[in-house]
Chain A
Amino acid sequence: MDSGFQSQIHIIANSIPPLNSSAASLAILLSSSFNQTDEISFDEIETKVAPTLFLAVTTIPYLSQISYVGLEGLFFSYYIDGNQTLSTYANSSFSSRKKHVWYKQPVDNQTGKLYGEPVTSHSFNVVNTSWFQVALNHSWGYSSLENGWNNGGEPLFLTSVSLLGKGVIAMGVPVKRLTDRLGGIINLYGGSLSLITMDGKLLLNGIPNTKFIYANGTIFLQFLWPNGFKNFPCSNDTPETYKLDIDGKEYNVRCSTVEISGVQSVYALALSHEGMASFVYSKINYSHIALVVTMVFFVIPLVFFVSSMITNAQRETCLHDKLIKQMEATQQAERKSMNKSLALVGASHDIRAALAGITGFIDLCLANAAPGSDFEAYLKQMSLCAQDLLGLLNSILDTSKIEAGMMNLEEQEFNLADLIEHVVNLYHPVGMIKGVDVVLDPCDGSIIKLSQVKGDRGKLKQILSNILSNAVKFTVEGHVCVRAWVREHDFKPEKLASTRKGLGKYVSRLFSDKNEGNGDVKAESAVRQNRDSVEIVFEVDDTGKGIPKEKQKSVFENYVQVKETAAGQVGTGLGLGIVQSLVRLMGGEIGIVDKEFGEKGTCFRFNVFLTAFEIQGDAMYGGTNSSFAIRNYSPKLGICTPSPKLDGSQVVLFMQNIERRRVSQKFLERLGISVLVVDHCHHFPSALKKIQSKLNSLLNSSRRSDMSCRSDISSSSSKEMPLSAMEGTEHKLPFNRRKDTPSFILLVIDVNAESFSELWRIVAEFRRGLHSTCCKVIWLDKPTSPCIDPKRLDPDDEILLQPFHGSRLHRVIKLLPEFGNLSQGISSSSESSKHPYSKTRLRSTQRNDEIQEYVSSSDERYSKQGPSSPTLVHTRGRLKSKRKNEDSAESSNGEMPLFGKRILIAEDNKMLSILAIATATQLGADVEHCENGNEALERVCNGLKAQRNYDYVLMDCEMSPMNGYEATRRIRIEEERYGVRIPIIALTAHTSGTEALEAGMDAHLNKPLVANELMKVIESLQTKK
């Protein structure tokens, strides 16, 4: 520390350079311009010395005063006082008569010229001073500390050098400059400094309570205490350190020598311990803070890093743990599943055997059943059920396949409406036994319009059956309603309300979708990509117990059952899981639709994507159906432009079940049919009466207007109707007739609602009240327990078995005149059939066409053109062309019409024989080959002997050694003994085959052999036979 200060002091001291060299060189420079001997006059000084001096004072750093002093008292000096450069001079020597006076005059800072008025200044007797005397003898500069010329006489380090022994050049650097810098530095660190020249001139006294004492050429530092003083020698060459106590502070005082600008000096440096310490401490604080900050910056990321590492490690361990557990669980599950599958496979074998037995016996029964009887129908239904059961069994076995995403859709063309109806009808009897009505709601009729679709029929049926059976199973009262419609789309499937709510579930579904297996997803996308695909939405709505909200999600998981409802009901809980997988396989989604509060039951909704094939009404009938189509299309065209003859019909629905009533009514009304619904037996007669009265009033009015009445009608009608009412409506009826009054009344009566006899009575009464208006009654009967007495029925009435929906509903609609019924047709058909049941039961093929015909008519009449029809037309075109290809392919290589036939080919040309053999072989024949007539004869004879005749012989005519004609003749002779005639076909290169026929051959073919021609010939030979 001390040495640091010392070196600093030395550096500062050295920064004021000794001016010896510059003074000396200045002197040499000046001396060159003077003669050795001559006196130097003031003029010379002014002209020669002064500019050099000015140059020196402006260029040499720190220089504040420069002067020339002549021996004789001539004097010239520049000095800097503040910012002003001044000049002092004495232009007279001591020896001159003039008074030796010093003048002071300002100097131009730029040029060094004097200006202004010279002012008399205080004069010094410089020549007599000791330094001058000494300097006069020095040619190498003499340094001393002297006072300057300026007003204050401030101390200067003066360096003087003799000029030719006649004068002295003196250059001065102010002491103050040095002391200022030193003091500034030392005070900065809380220390203090005193400085004295060796010859006892004090430069700086910074240390309090001390002073320098100069005695005998030695400098002492004297410390003054209140009670005395103490001297310390200070001028030693070696630095000395003393410890002192000043004002209660401990100081280290160090004395040392330093040369400043050539002047030897002594300094004493006092540094306070505390001052040093506090300085250090203050610095330490800073460094501490810096250190701490650095540490903090270092530690924070470290901590962060370490902690994150630890968390990661923990998480990883946790994951490992879970993974291991999961793997164990998975393995266990796999084992379980494996065992289960094996068990299932084992069981299925037995079940299959049993089922095969059942179907076999059903077939046996079917063979014996009277065709067209109920028995046969039931048997057929049974057979279907058994097959379905087999299919279901297979599906259950396929569950694992589904889960692995390996199940594929088996696409085939089918009638969707038929399928749905079939499934619904299947469960109708089941529901009927429980008192639950299973209703098919055609909704907007879009399904009927769609009709032919392509898709996996079996799986769709399975889905529907599964949901429907569940619905029927868990419904105790009320109804189960199946709705289906085509969604006009946008391909995006609607989000089903109950399955997906909020983002979280959506995301989870995403994941679950992934888990579901790629197969599903792929199939889904494939299904969606199809441009002809239609989205069909199904709803199965029941009025059963319902599924609690919280369980709705889990019902689609395998083996999950809603426990509360499980009592008394059996099932594996596999159903809905499979259903969901299947629905997803078809590109759809299944979910439970939220019901209104207070509504009972559950509503499952799912959608599937199928390929639409055609829209009904596009006139797709051809071939075998053409006659039927023509018959049906002609009335349809009549309907399109409503003829005045055909007025709106009135349909009266009297049904027990609310839902069925509602659905039927809605559907009929949608078709523009006026429907009157009767919900209770008590209202039935009154409702009928209302219609009757309306009709009769009309009838009366029309009778009056066009005078075409019948007397018996008027009498009966007047009995039924109050005259006043008739009068009241009379005047407006003719105008409204066409719109308001039905020309045809159709009563649809559910026999289960009331006893048949009672109903029959009501209807009979109603009939009596009617006159010319056509009235037809459809009796709806239970298939299980028919309670209708057919004998009592009117010949026009029909009996329909429940369920009254789908094709049966369509058939009833067709009875209406505006939907194609020609009353003659009905009456004739009803007369021709002896038993009403046989009439009501519709043959499946016929039913199909009827529905289609009916829909096509309703389509044109009531619905807009489907937006997708152009694409459908396109599809059909494609299909047609494809079929054509298939046909041609079939005819070219598929068939083998000569299968099992033995053919002998006699041909000597190797190439032609190969050709013939190949042709015949491709047609399925068993070909033998020989090279000439001899061989042919031999082979034929062998065949005759062995009773293995050739079916045909193909004989080349020109062969050697025996030609074909000869061989044929001989064969004819040979075979006569056996009483057979083998057809021999000549192969000739000649166009006419007369020679061949003369030789006894049956036909001839031009070479080369062509399959078609060969077949033609063979066919003609067969017909000849």
Chain B
Amino acid sequence: MEVGQMQRRLVDYTKSLFMEGFLDAQFLQLQQLQDESNPDFVVEVVSLFFDDSEKLLNDLTMALDQPNVDFKKVDAHVHQLKGSSSSIGAQRVKNACIAFRSFCEEQNIDATLRCLQQVKQEYYLVKNKLETMLRLEQQIVAAGGSIPMIELGF
């Protein structure tokens, strides 16, 4: 594929991510932090987010699987997940986390399980999207192009 075409595709794709609410302005902040001295910043942070979240989700699943659910622990995990998702700008994961936490406070086990499913779903969705985007970026870089800046008014 031609570089210009790929660049256009990347821009369109990224825009769609923003439009559909997968990502928010925080992700732009993240991108702005990437510069010559730190060229793989976004990739690093995103992969870190993936590791972190996967671990947390595992922990959460395990914690909710216990006969006596320790809601404090669950809440701490969700809090962490919320922190990392908000720091990457994964808006929908963050929103799901917020709902999760409110149910944690209620100690509603059914709702928390539902929320876990939702968080997981959102997480895998955003992961998928982010991976696609990063792959596209890598392709552009490999083809010798530069990654276009996405300008969105937030």
Contacts and interface: CB of A to CB of B under 8 A. Distances in A.
Contacts of A914: 41, 44-45, 48
Contacts of A989: 79, 82-83, 86
A893 B33 CA distance: 9
Interface in A919-946: 919, 921-922
A893 B29 CA distance: 12
Contacts of A909: 52, 80, 83-84, 87
Contact of A911 (B32, B33, B88): B88
Nearest to A1006: B86
Contact of A1007 (B35, B45, B49, B83): B83
Contacts of A919: 29, 33
A119 interface: no
Contacts of A1010: 26, 29
Contacts of A912: 83-84, 87
Given A989-B82, A1008-B26, A893 B32 contact: yes
B49 A911 contact: yes
A918 B38 CA distance: 8
* Chain B interface, >50% SS class: helix
Most central of A914, A918, A921 by chain B CB within 10 Å: A918
Contacts of B86: 989, 1007-1008
B99 interface: no
A1007 B48 contact: no
A624 to B, nearest CB: 30
Interface in A848-884: none
A1007 B82 CA distance: 10
B34 to A, nearest CB: 8
A1008 B86 CA distance: 7
Contacts of B32: 892-893, 922, 1011
Contacts of B3: none
B147 interface: no
B30 interface: yes
Nearest to B52: A911
B83 A918 contact: no
A315 B80 CA distance: 91
Contacts of A1007: 83, 86-87
B79 A918 contact: no
Interface string A958-978: 100000000000000000000
Given A892-B32, A1011-B29, A911 B79 contact: no
B112 to A, nearest CB: 19
A912 B83 CA distance: 8
A894 to B, nearest CB: 12
Interface in B50-109: 52, 79-80, 82-84, 86-88
Interface residues of B, number: 23
B35 A911 contact: no
A406 interface: no
A95 B21 CA distance: 153
A912 B26 CA distance: 12
A1011 B52 CA distance: 24
Contact of A918 (B41, B49, B52, B84): B41
Nearest to A915: B87
A438 B51 CA distance: 80
A549 to B, nearest CB: 60
Interface residues of A, number: 19
B96 to A, nearest CB: 15
Contacts of A1011: 29, 32
Interface string A983-1015: 000000100000000000000000111110000
A350 B45 CA distance: 57
Nearest to B48: A911
Nearest to A922: B33
A363 B71 CA distance: 75
Nearest to A918: B33
A230 interface: no
Contacts of A892: 32
A922 B48 CA distance: 20
Interface in A720-767: none
B48 A1008 contact: no
B126 to A, nearest CB: 14
A910 interface: yes
Contacts of B34: 918
Contacts of A915: 30, 33, 45, 87
Contacts of B82: 989
B48 A910 contact: yes
A996 to B, nearest CB: 15
A9 B104 CA distance: 144
A911 B87 CA distance: 8
A958 B79 CA distance: 10
Nearest to B53: A911
Nearest to B80: A909
A909 B41 CA distance: 16
Nearest to B87: A1008
Most central of B29, B32, B48, B83 by chain A CB within 10 Å: B83
A1008 B33 CA distance: 13
Given A989-B83, A1008-B86, A911 B45 contact: yes
Interface in B106-136: none
Contacts of B29: 919, 1008, 1010-1011
Nearest to A914: B45
Contacts of B84: 909, 911-912
A851 B83 CA distance: 62
Contacts of B33: 915, 918-919, 922
A907 to B, nearest CB: 10
B111 to A, nearest CB: 21
A1011 B29 CA distance: 8
Contacts of A1008: 26, 29, 83, 86-88
A914 B34 CA distance: 11
Nearest to A1011: B29
A909 to B, nearest CB: 6
Nearest to B49: A911
Contacts of B79: 958, 989
B37 to A, nearest CB: 8
A1009 B26 CA distance: 9
Contacts of B30: 915
Nearest to A1010: B29
Contacts of B44: 914
Contacts of A921: 37-38
A946 B44 CA distance: 34
A1016 to B, nearest CB: 14
A912 B45 CA distance: 9
Nearest to A1009: B87
Contacts of B49: 911
Contacts of A911: 45, 48-49, 52, 84, 87-88
Nearest to B29: A1010
Contacts of B35: 893, 922
A910 B52 contact: yes
Interface in B1-48: 26, 29-30, 32-35, 37-38, 41, 44-45, 48
A925 to B, nearest CB: 13
A922 B29 CA distance: 12
Most central of B33, B34, B88 by chain A CB within 10 Å: B33
Most central of A892, A914, A1010 by chain B CB within 10 Å: A914
22 contacts: A893-B32, A909-B80, A911-B45, A911-B48, A911-B49, A911-B52, A911-B84, A911-B88, A915-B45, A918-B33, A918-B34, A918-B41, A919-B33, A922-B35, A958-B79, A989-B82, A1007-B83, A1008-B26, A1008-B29, A1008-B87, A1008-B88, A1011-B32
Which 3 A-B pairs have CB atoms at the shortest separation, nearest pair first?
A1008-B87, A918-B33, A911-B48
Given A893-B32, A909-B84, A1008-B26, 11 more contacts: A911-B52, A911-B87, A911-B88, A914-B41, A915-B30, A915-B33, A919-B29, A921-B37, A922-B32, A989-B82, A1011-B29
Interface of B: 26, 29-30, 32-35, 37-38, 41, 44-45, 48-49, 52, 79-80, 82-84, 86-88
